Structure 1
C-alpha cells in the first residue's frame, strides 16, 4: 500500500525560473555530495508562516545575492523526497539588482538560451519543472 502525505504535512520547496534577456538561470549544486555537479532551478524551502512567493524572494537573495520579484506560478508541482514538493515560479531581476553569483549551495551559474536549455545535466527532480517552463517559454514566456 502506498502512503500518501496529506497536503498539510507537505513541505513546499520553491524553485525560481529566473528569466533575463530571453535566458533562464541554472545553478550547479556544490552539496550535498549526491547532488553535486548537477543543475537546478535555484530556490529553497518555504518557512512556516511564509508565503511561497516571499520564500522565493528570500531564497534568491540568500543563495544568489539578487533582488528578484516573482512573476507567476508555473502550473503543477513535482514530488521530491517525502514530504517535500517542488513548486516553481517565474521571476525576474528587479532594476538595479546585482548580477547573480553563487553564495551558498552552488559553485557555478549559467544563463541558458532556449537552445541551450538541455546542455546541462539537470537534477532528476527538476527535469519535469524545466520541461514545463520550456513549454511555456516557447509560448511567449519572457
Structure 2
C-alpha cells in the first residue's frame, strides 16, 4: 500500500519550428526531466504549472492539458504513488532562458532534438513516450 498519492504537473515544451524540445538537465549526469513540478496544497494544476515554469524557466505559456499517467505503477517498492498530469505547449526556440546551464553542462534547461530524445538513456521511458507521441 502507498503512503500517499503525489500529484505533479509536467509539460512537453516544443520549439515553434518543431525541431527541438526543452528538457531540464539534472545535476551531474543524472539525466533529463520535463519542466514542471509538484502541486502545492490547495493549488489547481494549471496554476501549479504556471508557477513552476516561472520558477524554473522565467516564462509564462499557454499550455494544453494532454494526458496523465502514473509513474512506475508496478513498482511495489515505491512508497509514493505518483500521478503526473501532462501538458503540451509550443514556445519560440529563441526564448530567453535562465543563464545557468543553457549550454547543457549543468542543471537547468537544455534543448534536444527528436533524434537526441530517441537516443538518450537519461530520460525516463514515460517521459520519452509522452514527448514522442505528441511531437508536432
Aligned to 2:13: 18
DSSP 3-state at the match of 2:107:
strand
Cα distance, 1:121–1:26 mapped onto 2, change above 3 Å: farther
Q: Where does 1:96-135 land on structure 2 (aligned, <5 Å)?
A: 98-101=95-98, 107-123=107-123, 126-135=124-133
Which runs of 4 or more aligned residues in structure 1 lie more than 4 Å from their structure 2 counterparts after TM superposition? Answer: none
Query: Is the Cα contact below 8 Å between 1:39 and 1:120 reproduced in 2?
Result: no
Please give the TM-score of this superposition, normalised by the length of structure 2: 0.72
Instruction: Say what the alpha-carbon RMSD is for the aligned residues.
Output: 2.8
Q: Where does 1:1-142 land on structure 2 (aligned, <5 Å)?
A: 3=1, 9-20=4-15, 21-22=17-18, 23-30=20-27, 37-73=30-66, 75-79=67-71, 81=78, 82-93=80-91, 98-101=95-98, 107-123=107-123, 126-137=124-135, 142=136
Cα distance, 1:12–1:132 mapped onto 2, change above 3 Å: same
**Shift of residue 42 of structure 1?**
1.4
Distance across 1 between alignment mates of 2:14 and 2:86: 13
DSSP 3-state at the match of 2:128:
helix
Q: Which runs of 5+ in 2 are unaligned?
A: 73-77, 101-105
Please give the TM-score of this superposition, normalised by the length of structure 1: 0.69
Question: RCO higher in 1 or 2 (8 Å CA, sep ≥ 6)?
Answer: 2
